[in-house]
Structure 1
């Protein structure tokens, strides 16, 4: 297994943002956003570089095709956040509480997702490279058709995850606290699991191959 290359985010001295609502194609550099309500705002195609986003509300916020580079997102929360086609590179995400986040077609590279809970994230067709999930809960995460390379899930709970048509390389599930695979049990080639996880997943493997256990 090749080790995950983790982000090294070193934020400069930040300036508090006081520019009002976000703007599509906006360019945000070296800014700190704190306790802002971005509900239903649109920053489609915007670029956030060397930024900190702390405890901001993202209900139905449109961030499709946005780029987050060398940035930190901490305590963000929201329902229906649109991050489709977004790019996150060298980013730390901490204690996020998101529901129904749209990340299909997104690209995540050198990203750490630490703590928090993400319900029903749509990661269909996404590309994850050097991504570390740590101590978080993912409920019914949809990775269908995604590409995962050097991805770890340490101390995470994966509930009813969908790995249909996923392509994996150097994916480490051994550290996960719980792994419940709803679909795509046959797509674990390229992943490593523990002996205990193998026993837990045995019924799903048997069902996939048509073996009846009595």
Structure 2
């Protein structure tokens, strides 16, 4: 009977998401140069705001509804991670790898994706449907074939960004800088381009 209770308790614990305390403990015990591996872990709903999370592997992790306000996620691997409805306002995302990540409905206002050293964030195939990226610095970001339907990209810096084949239907790009951005093959149906800093050239959108 006791063994059954212990096993049941362990199973329950295994299914529970990690907490901020769990993450902080791991960070404290690891040297700065050590690349922590949180691949496939459950972090749903955790408050990881303002933490230094650089270089961590969050591939396939469940980060739904996570609070990551002001966190530093630069050079993290978020490939295929679920960040749907997460709050990342003001986060540092330099050189982040988030191929095919799910960021549907996420808040990413005033985030910084642009690395002055030239390391480009790779968000190819990411799902940003209905996400809010207003005011974010996204120069050079790779958003090829990304889903940005109904997303808010007002006043974003998207200079030289790769948006080829992206779904920008009903996306609000008002006031954004798309100088030298690649929009070839993108779905621009009902997208808003008012008050653009630089005019959009047809050569940017033709296949």
Q: What TM-score, normalized to structure 2?
A: 0.73
Note closer, same or farther for the CA distance 1:47–1:161 as it changes in structure 2 (3 Å cut): same
Deviates more, 1:80-89 or 1:162-171: 162-171
| Correspondence 1:44-193 to 2 at 5 A | 45-124=35-114, 125-176=120-171, 178-193=172-187
Would you say the 8 A contact 1:173–1:191 is kept in 2? no
- CA-to-partner distance for each residue in 1:124-163, whole Å, 9 max, x for gaps? 2201121111222111121112222221102222221111
C-alpha separation between the residues in 1 aligned to 2:159 and 2:70?
22
C-alpha separation between the residues in 2 aligned to 1:87 and 1:174?
27
Q: How far has the Cα of 1:186 moved from its partner? A: 3.8
Note closer, same or farther for the CA distance 1:60–1:195 as it changes in structure 2 (3 Å cut): closer
Of Structure 1 and Structure 2, the greater helix share is in: 2
Paired position in structure 1 for 2:25: 22
Paired position in structure 2 for 1:9: none
Q: How far has the Cα of 1:79 moved from its partner? A: 2.7
Note closer, same or farther for the CA distance 1:207–1:129 as it changes in structure 2 (3 Å cut): closer
Count how many residue pairs are aligned between Structure 1 and Structure 2: 181
Q: How far has the Cα of 1:112 moved from its partner? A: 1.0
Q: How far has the Cα of 1:81 moved from its partner? A: 0.3
- What is the RMSD computed on CA atoms of the aligned residues? 3.1
C-alpha separation between the residues in 2 aligned to 1:148 and 1:194?
14
C-alpha separation between the residues in 2 aligned to 1:113 and 1:89?
11
Q: How far has the Cα of 1:54 moved from its partner? A: 2.0
Q: How far has the Cα of 1:74 moved from its partner? A: 1.6
Q: What TM-score, normalized to structure 1?
A: 0.71
Of Structure 1 and Structure 2, the greater strand share is in: 1
Q: Which has the larger radius of gyration?
A: 2
Note closer, same or farther for the CA distance 1:191–1:202 as it changes in structure 2 (3 Å cut): farther
Q: How far has the Cα of 1:23 moved from its partner? A: 2.0
Moved over 6 A (4+): none
C-alpha separation between the residues in 1 aligned to 2:155 and 2:112?
13
Task: Name structure 1 gaps, 5 residues minimum.
Answer: 1-11, 28-41, 210-214
Confirm whether residue 201 of structure 1 aligns to residue 179 of structure 2: no
Would you say the 8 A contact 2:150–2:168 is kept in 1? no
